[in-house]
Structure 1
């Protein structure tokens, strides 16, 4: 993974923690979780407070995610809200934490001046044993603590302030007044600085989870759809009137579900021609065929001319695979008719020419699912399914890794937002 690290393709954009007081606060949170404090003098954290370096030191990649449920978090600074989440068992952990931090920004700003915030994203189950456990999670609650108990002291002070206002003789209680002064030295004026997060419950909507080899849950009015391997425990076992179970191996059914629920954008000239989407897919197909037929060839610096020459020289391989000719035919059909008739296209190839509907709230999750059906497009896999990308990367030889890193570095990393907008219609 060193090549990925060196090019910011793994654990990129994390925040450096090297100030002694912040490390001390982080250690207080670790100890509160029953973990050994870090001896590192510098490490990096993501939005949740997860640190690759601390995980390596502890020998536990799941030190903030025991049982991969009820995810723990450590917040040292409000700026964590702008960081990525690099390790999680649920795809919506990042969004849930972002909502928590933005909706409670005043309290977090004030608290992190004095203290570290830590806790759990708690849901209704403590361990996932089958699909029904996952489906029972309708909402999550942030259980929030602070190492110096600033939260508890702020709550106590608020109670005493209310008592002072409500009870006519409360001002005569010198012990209470002294306690209020003592608390205010820690909390400051809580009338001006809100210290207690008051938005702690959030909806648990559509998501992907790493449980059972990878499982998708999509939610529509009156029906929840589970897409996974049929071997997952609990598959098709309960509530058929509320839950639809689709095998991720059934390409046609999965495509039909995404199309019928408006989650995908069908191939039409209005977006295909300006996006360069089919050209991108075609290049990914050719690169994959080169790696398959000539595993040791290094194409890290291959340009369009070189790729075109290879295409002309290997027509038999390309025609046997069929994906590249299909994409060329699709491009011609769109130019002539403005769209493609997908009814006559075999299900496996349909995913080559569609993307998630950008305006749909499940767009990122849908693009992640689409990427599973287009394994040749490692760029889309990297953008939407980093766990899948890293798993695939481990199987590549050195030449393949060099080519993959070079292309990601010169395309996606060079202009992330513009790249996502052009190909997928997504601004963030």
Structure 2
């Protein structure tokens, strides 16, 4: 990381490259190199480094001058597993929102087998899409399933399959006991695999559906294929005409996006009635919004909240955006009753009043909402880290400092509680 790089503050604060698996022994480095060479033809000279759930290492990427060394082309991501502990790690440089979930589930559902296999070797594998490359947005609709293909660098799983077939042949052949060549081959393969009849070496649940997802490709797309009308949200106009979907929306077409989310019952209002506990969520959003406006004026708002924050804003002549006024009116209604204020689709605060409903695409919807509420740096960081990092680079120093302080204070100390309050879920 270059001196003066704005991302250094994120790393030091534990908001970037945190919770990675430390590869710090000659044995693990050697296994990693065998897998890396097997997949890419490259090796690392580093004696220690950190890897994410897929085995990608920022340090190795810098050494090789290629941070896509396990993910060229953005599809069919390769991975290296050294330990089941990687299942707790984040996924860096993700091109598909489903990739971490798939890897995490694969590790969890094969925990016992992977534990045994990684005791002596590394696992090298690939998230194999139904397409080998994506040349246009249309190709994304051909991705329906992801198949996890994996084996040790010594080919233990493939050899185990071969041995199982030899054992079946031994039992099925009438003169199997007298087939010396067959018996010798079984013995030789078993030196690598062990007794597959007592301890089968086989990985389960290797095929996963991928029909609803976000991808960083083509400027960033949200694809919802399981809706009554398959729909796509795109960032850039030029890709609108290249998609076969029944409904293609620009991210900036807020009215169309709002109707899509509402018609498909993908969102719910945070505050539904007076006295709703969701008012605490809107109060947090208001504080973040106000703190952000103060940061833009180079005013330090660290440690201030609620009325103290509002007084600080008044003293410094901070003008409140319409988004703030809309949320504040809902908070007043929730706490004092009366007539519910109208904060409709055309109001700048509209998307800030929503969160994803409890559906199979909840995480994807919260990710989309994070982009639609740019002043909520907390939701952006939690739900869409790649977009947060992209925007963070261009923010003024005061805004970066405020954002880091707010996220560390409001989220890092107790992630589960923060997520439960904001989204009604403890899901990471």
SS at match of 1:415: helix
Task: Write the distance in 1 (CA, Å) between the matches of 2:29 and 2:215.
Answer: 31
Q: TM-score, normalised by structure 1?
A: 0.92
- Are 1:257 and 2:263 an aligned pair? no
C-alpha displacement at 1:342, in angstroms? 5.0
Aligned equivalent of 1:284: 288
Q: Which residue, 305, 310, 313 being the options, matches 1:311?
A: 313
1:263/1:356 contact within 8 Å kept? yes
- Are 1:382 and 2:386 an aligned pair? no
Task: Write the distance in 1 (CA, Å) between the matches of 2:275 and 2:370.
Answer: 19
Aligned equivalent of 2:272: 268
- Are 1:179 and 2:185 an aligned pair? yes
Sort the Cα spacing of 1:27 and 1:275 in 2 relative to 1 into closer, same or farther, 3 A.
farther
Matches within 5 A, 1:295-306: 296-304=298-306, 306=308
2:258/2:345 contact within 8 Å kept? no
- Are 1:16 and 2:16 an aligned pair? no
Q: Which residue, 201, 219, 226 being the options, matches 2:232?
A: 226
Aligned equivalent of 2:115: 109
SS at match of 1:382: helix
Aligned equivalent of 1:245: 248
C-alpha displacement at 1:125, in angstroms? 2.0
Q: TM-score, normalised by structure 2?
A: 0.92
1:208/1:215 contact within 8 Å kept? yes
C-alpha displacement at 1:374, in angstroms? 1.0
Q: Which runs of 5+ in 1 are unaligned?
A: none
Sort the Cα spacing of 1:162 and 1:315 in 2 relative to 1 into closer, same or farther, 3 A.
same
Structural RMSD (CA):
2.2
Aligned equivalent of 2:4: none
Sort the Cα spacing of 1:270 and 1:24 in 2 relative to 1 into closer, same or farther, 3 A.
farther
Task: Write the distance in 1 (CA, Å) between the matches of 2:54 and 2:276.
Answer: 37
Task: Write the distance in 1 (CA, Å) between the matches of 2:167 and 2:93.
Answer: 42
Question: 1:190-217: per-residue Cα shift (whole Å, max 9, x none)?
Answer: 2232322242221113111111111101
Task: Write the distance in 2 (CA, Å) between the matches of 1:397 and 1:350.
Answer: 26
- Are 1:370 and 2:374 an aligned pair? no
SS at match of 1:189: coil
Task: Write the distance in 1 (CA, Å) between the matches of 2:345 and 2:204.
Answer: 52
Aligned equivalent of 2:324: 324
SS at match of 2:230: strand
Task: Write the distance in 1 (CA, Å) between the matches of 2:412 and 2:324.
Answer: 26
Task: Write the distance in 1 (CA, Å) between the matches of 2:79 and 2:230.
Answer: 29
C-alpha displacement at 1:188, in angstroms? 1.6
1:268/1:339 contact within 8 Å kept? no
Q: Which residue, 58, 61, 68 being the options, matches 2:67?
A: 61
Aligned residues: 420
C-alpha displacement at 1:348, in angstroms? 2.9
1:300/1:402 contact within 8 Å kept? no
Q: Which runs of 5+ in 2 are unaligned?
A: 1-6
Q: Which residue, 210, 213, 216 being the options, matches 1:207?
A: 213
1:212/1:232 contact within 8 Å kept? no
When structure 1 is superposed on structure 2, of 178-187 and 411-420 the one drifting more is: 178-187
